[in-house]
Chains A and B, each alone.
Chain A
């Protein structure tokens, strides 16, 4: 089903925020809408959005490519995005992510066998003083988890598992 068929009202609400001659500005909220579907943005969705906005699909793709919060590949239900930038690394983030991966039996960028969690390494999330830290990104939005340990993270994953079960 196309986005237009599925979310007619929401799309209308998004368009209402922008002057009609600037409707291309709606590209980002529309992409978030599309991403809600499967956790990533399909080429079909990009084409549909390009059509709605009267721009080229490549222009839509550029936005998806540029912003790290848009995804173009299927992943687990939750993305665990661990900051591994320099300040966090100084507080042990690289060791943290390595151990976390070891515990989950995945490499950075991979998804756990049950399809629940994908571990990703990202740049500064502006919580350097509370490293190691990570954010989870799922259909319920984005949540920060600070001052983490591997054990606390495993507990978090258990909780997530329950919430989707």
Chain B
């Protein structure tokens, strides 16, 4: 522990670890020293001078080394000038006066200076109501300006930095928080200061502008209304907004969020979501979000959503009632004699999946997970222990990222792993191509696609890397699906699990699956399993497909579904699968109901209903209960009840309750209270930090050594290519494509080739080539990447081409 020092701030005596900055020491005892440029997540820079305070230090007698006493008390000498509380560390015997007349005068002057070039257009400013500058102007600003109004400095008010973030130049106070965030925390310095003095301007030179998936965070920490999102710009006044705690449903990180809602005339008086804000959870997302999590929610309010149950009559889907639809669906399931397949995805909550699994069990059918990524049985066993927190990882911790492009697959984990590297953790990235994390890794292992398992198995034999893995105090292994399908990822998971198996159950140790969906981990825990031959599983069966669109993803699966006996589709939208279905059941978006997700770190987290249901849609677990009832299986139909049944049935959830998931604890840095100026507009966590599932170790079971399956090797012949799937953050997935705001980020399907390989094909960057694989032919444009091997073609998933795993493909120039 660091040495503690005693000091006095505003007449209150405290102790704080040596090195603590005055501003933080004060914050810890509830004293708010005003700041603009300082942010507790970033290095202090002392640029704005808002935090000026009087600092006194005891006079030390040079001969004795002891403080000089006066009336028995150490004599304190105050400096002639004010000091910045954000850059000055505390020291023994220090006396800080933040409220004295002298300090106040200094702070007031800074505000007055800032206001000489600030428009104070709070009445039309999105930040109004939660603005540090507005608040501090109320407190410190002069009642009357000494400057001439006509000489006010005016600048452009609408500068798009990218299509998601707008800059209002005259509101900017040049605190550089946004620039420092991009540089220090995101590691993508794509915005910067241009010019100096009064002409200082925020610029971006990348193409597209502000090219970072973390851009939205800058609007939270900008202490004025200079940076706004195109989503919320002129959208509402902040004080009209209600907030509902939730969890992002876009990836396995499980970032804690708040949905801000209000009743809206434009939406015919309905309550709608106006914006997504981060909610502090230092163990999960700290106070950050990626832009997908922040902006993709619009899919939930897309007017094309299913609003009524549909039943196929005379070959056509027709609107129906819940009673009729459930009776038909339930009747078919009951009469299927166990020939039932429930096919669901990790987009669903724990409650939905549990009810579906119970239904499948009750009918003697199968519960299949719709995914191309395996290994969840291993993460359930060797997952990271309770109390795991990337934020605490530093020197002594080794983090291996295997076959995962974290930046695209789980952006906030990219941020957190990068942060751990900065604190001294040893990061090893093993992948078949360069990813953004490479720049922050200590070791980069490059393999040819197909050699994943061999590479991971060989790591311990490598001198330095082996040492970093075996002798690490803490070891976390993240594995993803870059270039891999179901079999490949299952084998990779087994190889990765071997590295951590002795450590299972310990905090900051274990295996993490970088799943394609938010709740894949929950689905595995509850007992859903994928199959490598889905087509044959579907043929001839009564199939209940929930939150999945196999027919839209793959023509072969569409054909299989056509051969199914009966198809029930439960969805948000009329997907290709719903087109084929005999009964279509409209589900609520997760924003419209309660539930919980299990993150990739095996943390169960609650979300709450933020807006009313769309049309007649119902929550997935409730629909399943309704259908089950008609099929003769009794299930609970309230989220709380289902969860209670879940925890007594599935051992990993044992002991958990909704109340436990809703528990909170004091977190550092303190954010979101009265003073927006300290942490930004991120929300304080008042509705729950979630809780870890029980690990095998804690259940007293020993885990057996995972077994690596035989892999059939794919060897492309001369003139053929090995096409492998990779993940793109903004793809055409249902929850992205239906969000207007992100349209321009999705783009068209591409294929990534080595420049030499592209040359052999005769195609340059941006040119079209024709690709044929899995019985489909399509034209895609070429991207170049020097780091992939020569006969490999990278295809992004979810971009319209059916690619579930590595496959031999043909390519030719158009």
Contacts and interface: CB of A to CB of B under 8 A. Distances in A.
Interface of A: 43, 46-47, 55-62, 64-66
Contacts of A61: 192, 194, 203, 205
Contacts of B190: 56, 58
Contacts of A66: 193-196
Nearest to B193: A62
B87 interface: no
Given A47-B205, A56-B205, A60-B205, 18 more contacts: A56-B190, A56-B206, A58-B191, A58-B192, A58-B204, A58-B205, A59-B189, A61-B192, A61-B203, A61-B205, A62-B192, A62-B193, A64-B194, A65-B192, A65-B195, A65-B196, A66-B193, A66-B195
| Interchain residue pairs A-B with the least CB separation, the first 5 | A65-B194, A62-B192, A57-B205, A58-B205, A61-B205
Interface in B205-258: 205-206
Contacts of A58: 189-192, 203-206
B188 interface: yes
Contacts, number: 42
Interface string B174-191: 000000000000001111
A46 B204 CA distance: 12
Contacts of A65: 192-196, 201, 203
A61 B193 CA distance: 9
Nearest to A54: B439
Contacts of B189: 55-56, 58-59
B191 to A, nearest CB: 6
A43 B195 contact: no
Contacts of B191: 58
A85 to B, nearest CB: 13
15 contacts: A43-B205, A47-B205, A56-B206, A57-B206, A58-B189, A58-B192, A58-B204, A59-B192, A60-B205, A61-B194, A61-B205, A62-B192, A62-B194, A65-B192, A66-B196
A56 B192 CA distance: 10
Interface residues of B, number: 14
Nearest to B196: A66
B195 A46 contact: no
Contacts of A55: 189
Contacts of A60: 205
Contacts of A43: 205
A159 B203 CA distance: 40
Contacts of B203: 58, 61-62, 65
B440 to A, nearest CB: 14
A91 to B, nearest CB: 23
A26 B502 CA distance: 48
B250 to A, nearest CB: 26
Nearest to B188: A56
A59 B204 CA distance: 9
B765 to A, nearest CB: 15
A64 B190 CA distance: 15
A112 B205 CA distance: 31
Contacts of A46: 205
A66 to B, nearest CB: 6
A56 B436 CA distance: 13
Contacts of B205: 43, 46-47, 56-58, 60-61
A79 to B, nearest CB: 17
Most A CB within 10 A of own CB, among B192, B195, B196, B201: B192
A121 to B, nearest CB: 13
Contacts of B201: 65
A55 B189 CA distance: 9
A5 B643 CA distance: 67
A67 B648 CA distance: 67
Contacts of B194: 61-62, 64-66
A72 B120 CA distance: 31
A30 to B, nearest CB: 16
Most B CB within 10 A of own CB, among A43, A58, A66: A58
B620 to A, nearest CB: 43
Nearest to A57: B205
B315 to A, nearest CB: 57
Nearest to A59: B189
A106 to B, nearest CB: 21
B676 to A, nearest CB: 28
A58 B183 CA distance: 11
A64 B195 CA distance: 8
Nearest to B195: A65
A83 B194 CA distance: 22
Contacts of A59: 189, 192
Nearest to A123: B197
A57 B204 CA distance: 8
A55 B187 CA distance: 11
